[in-house]
Amino acid sequence: NSGDRYQLKTEDGEVLRGSQSSSDRRFSNRVIETKPRWSRFNDSSKDRAALGEEPLVLRKDLDVADGKGERNPHTGRNFSRNYYQLLELRKKLPIYNHRDEVLKIVGENKFVVLVGDTGSGKTTQVPQILSMKYGKENNKLIACTQPRRIAAVTVAQRVAEEMDVRLGDEVGYSIRYEDETSSRTILKYCTDGLLLRESVTDPLFSKYSMIIIDEAHERTISTDILMGMLKQVVFEREDFRLVVMSATLDAEKLQKYFNNAPLISIPGRMFPVDIKYLEEPVEDYLRATIEAVSQIHREEAAGDILVFLNGEDEISTAVKDLEESLRNVPGEGHASGVHVLPLFSSLPSNAIQKVFQDPPPNKRKIVLATNVAETSITIDGIVYVVDPGFAKQKVYNPRNRVESLQVAPVSAASAVQRSGRAGRTRAGITYRLYTEDAFESLTAMTYPEILRSNLNSVVLQLRTLSMNPVQFDFLDPPPPETVMRALECLLYLGALDQTGQVTKFGKAMSVFPLDPELSRTLLAAPDLGVAQEVLAIVAMVSAAPNCFVRPLNKAREADQAKRRFEAEESDHLTLLNVYTEYMIHNSSSQQWCWENFLNERALQSAAKAKEQLERLLEQQGYSTKSKRIGFDYYGQSIAIRKAITQGNFMFSAVECKRATYLTTKDNVEVKLHPSSGVRTRPTWLIYNELVITTKAFIRTVTQVEGSWLLESSPNYFTPDHFTNDVVSYEIAKLTGERKKSRSAMNTNLRQAY
Ligand code: CDP
Ligand code: MG
């Protein structure tokens, strides 16, 4: 049957045909009968040119300014053996020959753009080279931004090791909820979002002599805003330099944006990569991935495999599948099987470090990674890349303001980056799990995040810096309409007044590393006497939204365990229950989490998050103590749910049919997500997340009263604000027909810009 994409034979002889539904992707222990068919890559493609044809000959006889027995200028001690070992590796990086050029050009210019292939040593070497000169200038330090937390941490660890200093001394990192720097620090790796938040208290970035924006090609919102702001800072500060580094970005566009900045271009060190496509498309890329990996392991010569997947769940499933089916299966050049490792941001750092280490003898290393391995993290020794061609991307629809993470095809630029990961140590092979036609039809570049996002916090940040978000100098300006909508939301939240100025409340909101909705929830809690409870809930929602573990083979036990925490009127309260119990069992938390099907790591990060949020709330002059006197259970539940309503009233939904709700802001008909424990069938509820898969669901919901919604924002809840008759009618019932105040307000706001 030519329509069949797979033919799999199970151990007991059953033949599975055709593409399986994605819910049935586990097929461990089944023997794969047919192999995927690959077509060879054709020489003439632009792709190959982009990857470079010739292996570069390495020079091993480079000058060494750092002979043995020298003292480390930072510590005054002799360099360690490890230092010299790492130095040998550093000398082999393409950037090594360009050290003088980098110092010279940066010395002569205030803006510099540096472009080089991934793995050429930009992230680890350039800040290091520059820190020797600019890291102590006028007592100011250098910051190097990363779009991903995991990269900021691992790179800082690596660079501290390379410089032979203790992490947190001369070299440190700073990410949300974690600061590993000190007064000695001359080079700080941090996330772009963190640096952006620093600008609220220090708009001229006066602590820094230089900022290096790394991975600019990722075009995160924070990177885009930082570029716009730092461009301004360069004009205003004599003693400040900006270096922008990127793997693939259209350098010319950046150079132009930064007033015709000079370009340093680091030629890559790349071996040829053979690219194979599938002859026919597959429907289930996870299954195809496992097949491809098995095939490579059995048939291809020694060399490690890097696989790109989406998110923790997919990766964990695939790790298990591969371990079960291949662990001790000898492959070509690897007598004792495979060593399978996951790589995603929420892994603890010792697990992350493992991907950089050699596998046990005679085992083939297989790394299953998220997009983080595309450019941010370079793993040596990869010879084979398996690329299903998807990435999780934030998708935002400005019309109905729905923002969701969706698995979507990557851009051609990403596909080229991914395949390049195979050619770093020697010639490699990339297996693209799609057809050559499909490659041709990919969009050229990934769309900048700012054009795909909810801009509320961004716009609030820009307003606290007194920047006009409608006229901000973006590399790619977002549509003015979405900026206007963000301004409106901020008005309803009380962060801006009608003239568009940031209110005192808005200032406080902007200090939190949270969406404005959640910040307002936090700020509402102290007056209601439930600061501690709401701090925990917000921490859980923002740091551990998926703390429940539900293994497929123990689904029933897991559901039972979850039920013990459930509050029937609110999933937010369920999260609070989990948090409270977790804190009580803190000393034996590992065991306790395991027994209760909870993700301990997620809860740990929630605990950290709560600490930081609590500190910030205190700093804003709020009391973080809860008032327990006078509260019975319901009194407390009501106070907490009122606080949630105060911030999240725009995420409200009203029952329109039995068990079906209508979201107020975008009129989407939704059901409660199956994971919700709310059983009270409320008329009104608040939801944390709108998930659109095959159906639309709302997730993490809380029963609220219509009157609380009105109290939270009387300007927002007017019947004529809502185009949907059902919503409008329900709101009219609450307000008793209040009319038109909203349109007048919006006109004011619009005129202000
Ligand atoms: O930034 P770019 O992609 O140009 O390269 P890089 O991240 O500076 O990586 C340069 C080298 O450092 C690569 O060979 C990495 O494998 C190595 N590295 C490492 O071994 N451990 C880390 N934590 C980070 C980088
Ligand atoms: Mg890099």
ipTM tops the 0.95 cut: yes
The string of pLDDT tens digits covering residues 554-584 is 999 999 999 999 999 999 999 999 999 999 9
H or E segment and range at residue 687: strand 684-692
Q: How far apart are CA 163 and CA 155, in angstroms?
A: 12
Determine which residue's CA is closest to atom 7 belonging to ligand 1. Answer: 123
Whether residue 250 is predicted with pLDDT greater than 90 in this model: the reply is no
Confidence at residue 720, expressed as pLDDT on a 0 to 100 scale:
78
CB within 6 Å of ligand 1 — which residues?
93, 116, 118-125, 154-155, 158, 356, 378, 380
Mean pLDDT, rounded, of the chain: 85
Q: What SS3 class is residue 742?
A: helix
DSSP states along 514-560: S-HHHHHHHHHHHHHT-HHHHHHHHHHHHH-TT-B---GGGHHHHHH
User: Ligand 1, from 124, 129, 343: best to mutate by most atoms within 8 Å of Cβ?
Assistant: 124
Ligand 1 atom with the smallest distance to the CA of 157 is 23
From the CA of 179, how far away is ligand 1's center (Å)? 22
The string of pLDDT tens digits covering residues 625-680 is 998 767 788 899 999 999 999 999 999 999 999 989 999 988 899 999 999 999 99
Confidence at residue 743, expressed as pLDDT on a 0 to 100 scale:
54
The string of pLDDT tens digits covering residues 362-389 is 999 999 999 999 988 889 899 999 999 9
Determine which residue's CA is closest to atom 24 belonging to ligand 1. Answer: 155
The string of pLDDT tens digits covering residues 176-223 is 878 999 999 999 999 998 998 898 789 899 999 999 999 999 888 889
pLDDT bracket for residue 525 (50, 70, 90)? very high
- Average pLDDT of 446-466? 80
189 strand-pairing partners: 144, 173
Q: How far apart are CA 691 and CA 405, in angstroms?
A: 9
For residue 539, the Cα-to-chain-centroid distance in whole angstroms is 17
Ligand 1 atom with the smallest distance to the CA of 118 is 3
Whether residue 736 is predicted with pLDDT greater than 90 in this model: the reply is no
Q: Of 137, 259, 125, 132, nearest to 206 (Cα)?
A: 137
Confidence at residue 232, expressed as pLDDT on a 0 to 100 scale:
92
Q: How far apart are CA 291 and CA 296, in angstroms?
A: 9
Find out whether 41 and 296 touch, Cβ atoms under 8 Å: no
* Residue 256 backbone dihedrals phi, psi, to 5 degrees: -60, -45
Find out whether 136 and 186 touch, Cβ atoms under 8 Å: yes
Q: Of 240, 254, 252, 141, nearest to 189 (Cα)?
A: 141
Identify the nearest ligand to the CA of 352 by its number: 1
Cα dihedral 367/368/372/373 (nearest 10) = 40
Q: How far apart are CA 654 and CA 706, in angstroms?
A: 9
Confidence at residue 750, expressed as pLDDT on a 0 to 100 scale:
66
Determine which residue's CA is closest to atom 6 belonging to ligand 1. Answer: 121
Identify the nearest ligand to the CA of 425 by its number: 1
- Highest mean predicted confidence (pLDDT) among 250-254, 497-501, 593-597: 593-597
From the CA of 430, how far away is ligand 1's center (Å)? 20
- Average pLDDT of 227-255? 91
The DSSP letter of residue 373 is G
For residue 530, what are the contacts with CB-CB under 8 A and spacing of at least 6? Answer: 626, 636, 639, 640, 643
Of all residues in the chain, the percent with pLDDT exceeding 70 is 86
Q: How far apart are CA 468 and CA 484, in angstroms?
A: 11
Burial of 533 (0-12, 13-18, 19+ CB in 10 A): buried
Q: Which of 22-31, 247-256, 559-568, 608-617 has the lowest mean pLDDT?
A: 22-31
Give residue 136's identity as a one-letter amino acid code. K
Q: Of 276, 302, 309, nearest to 36 (Cα)?
A: 276
703 strand-pairing partners: 685
Ligand 1 atom with the smallest distance to the CA of 125 is 8
Confidence at residue 10, expressed as pLDDT on a 0 to 100 scale:
35
Confidence at residue 37, expressed as pLDDT on a 0 to 100 scale:
56
From the CA of 369, how far away is ligand 2's center (Å)? 16
Whether residue 4 is predicted with pLDDT greater than 50 in this model: the reply is no
Ligand 1 atom with the smallest distance to the CA of 380 is 16
From the CA of 374, how far away is ligand 2's center (Å)? 10
Cα–Cα distances (Å) from 234 to 198, 259, 287, 471, in that order, read 17, 11, 51, 19
Q: Of 623, 21, 34, nearest to 278 (Cα)?
A: 34
Cα–Cα distances (Å) from 451 to 160, 221, 395, 470, 477, in that order, read 36, 9, 9, 14, 8
Ligand 1 atom with the smallest distance to the CA of 117 is 4
From the CA of 56, how far away is ligand 1's center (Å)? 18
- Average pLDDT of 737-745? 52
Q: How far apart are CA 408 and CA 280, in angstroms?
A: 19
Q: What SS3 class is residue 240?
A: coil
Of all residues in the chain, the percent with pLDDT exceeding 90 is 57
- Average pLDDT of 300-320? 93
From the CA of 311, how far away is ligand 1's center (Å)? 22
- Average pLDDT of 504-513? 89
Long-range contacts of residues 716-725, Cβ cutoff 8 Å, at least 24 apart:
716/492, 716/649, 716/650, 716/742, 717/649, 718/742, 722/664, 723/667, 724/662, 724/667
- Average pLDDT of 512-541? 93
Confidence at residue 200, expressed as pLDDT on a 0 to 100 scale:
79
- Average pLDDT of 330-351? 88
- Average pLDDT of 382-408? 74
Which tokens hold the place of 575?
A: 């999260």
pLDDT bracket for residue 48 (50, 70, 90)? very low
From the CA of 121, how far away is ligand 1's center (Å)? 6
Cα atoms found within 13 Å of the Cα of residue 686, Cβ hemisphere only? 27
Length of the chain: 753
